[in-house]
Amino acid sequence: MRILAIERTVDGVTDDQFTPEIAAAEARRAWDLHQAGVIRELYFHADEALAVLVLECLDLVEADAALASLPMVAAGLIEFEVLPLRAYPGFERLFGSTSAQ
Q: Quote the pTM value.
A: 0.87
Q: Buried b / exposed e across 37-65, counting CB within 10 Å, b at 16+?
A: ebbeeeeeeeeeeebebebbbeeeeebbe
The arrangement of secondary structure in 2-86, i.e. its CATH architecture, is 2-Layer Sandwich (3.30)
Query: Would you kindly state where each structural domain of the chain is located, as residue ranges?
Result: 2-86
Predicted confidence pLDDT, tens digits, the chain (101 residues): 999 999 999 999 999 999 999 999 999 999 999 999 999 999 999 999 899 999 999 999 999 999 999 999 999 999 999 999 998 888 888 887 665 54
Distances (CA, A) of 101 to 80, 91, 93, 94, 96: 47, 20, 20, 20, 15
